[in-house]
Amino acid sequence: MRLLLTTSQGIEDLASVEVRSLLDKIGVPFRVEEKPLGVEGRVLAEVGEAFYTDEKGRKRELSVATYLNEKSRLLHRVIVEIASGSFEGISDEEPERALGRIENFVASLPVERFVKVSESFAVRSFRKGEHKITSVDIAKTVGKAIFDLLSRFGKPKVNLDHPSVIFRAELIGETFFLGIDTTGDSSLHKRPWRVYDHPAHLKASIANALIELAKPDGGSFIDPFCGSGTIPIELALKGYSGRIACLERYRKHLRGAEMNALSAGVYDKIEFILGDATRLSEHVDRVDFAVSNLPYGLKIGRKSMIPKLYMDFFSELAKVLEKRGVFITTEKRAIERAIEENGFEIRHHRLIGHGGLMVHTYVIE
Reported in sequence order, the residue ranges of the chain that DSSP labels E, i.e. its strands, are 2-6, 30-34, 42-47, 50-53, 59-62, 77-86, 120-128, 157-158, 165-172, 175-181, 221-223, 244-248, 270-274, 287-293, 321-329, 346-354, 357-364
Give least dist CB 275 to ligand SAM, A. Answer: 7
DSSP 296-356: ---STTTGGGHHHHHHHHHHHHHHHEEEEEEEEES-HHHHHHHHHHTT--EEEEEEEEETT
Window 172-201: contact mask with ligand SAM (x via CB under 6 A):
--------------------------x-xx
Query: For every residue of 201-229, which 3-state class applies, written as one string?
Result: CCCHHHHHHHHHHHCCCCCCEEECCCCCC
Window 324-343: contact mask with ligand SAM (x via CB under 6 A):
--------------------
User: Are 310 and 338 within 8 A, CB to CB?
Assistant: yes
Q: Which is nearer to ligand SAM, 67 or 310 (CB)?
A: 310
Give least dist CB 280 to ligand SAM, A. Answer: 8
Q: How many residues at the interface with ligand SAM, by CB under 6 A? A: 20
Q: Which is nearer to ligand SAM, 198 or 269 (CB)?
A: 198
Give least dist CB 176 to ligand SAM, A. Answer: 35
List beta partners, residue 354: 357
Window 215-254: contact mask with ligand SAM (x via CB under 6 A):
----------xxxx-xx---------------xxxx--x-
Q: What is the edge-to-edge ordering of all strands in the sheet holding 357-364? A: 270-274, 244-248, 221-223, 287-293, 321-329, 357-364, 346-354
Q: Which is nearer to ligand SAM, 174 or 312 (CB)?
A: 312
Alpha carbons 307 and 303: distance in angstroms, whole number: 8
Q: Which is nearer to ligand SAM, 181 or 234 (CB)?
A: 234
User: Are 146 and 114 within 8 A, CB to CB?
Assistant: no
Give least dist CB 284 to ligand SAM, A. Answer: 13
Window 257-296: contact mask with ligand SAM (x via CB under 6 A):
-------------------xxx--------------x-x-
Q: Which is nearer to ligand SAM, 120 or 187 (CB)?
A: 187
Q: Which is nearer to ligand SAM, 117 or 200 (CB)?
A: 200
Interacting residues toward ligand SAM by CB under 6 A: 198, 200-202, 225-228, 230-231, 247-250, 253, 276-278, 293, 295
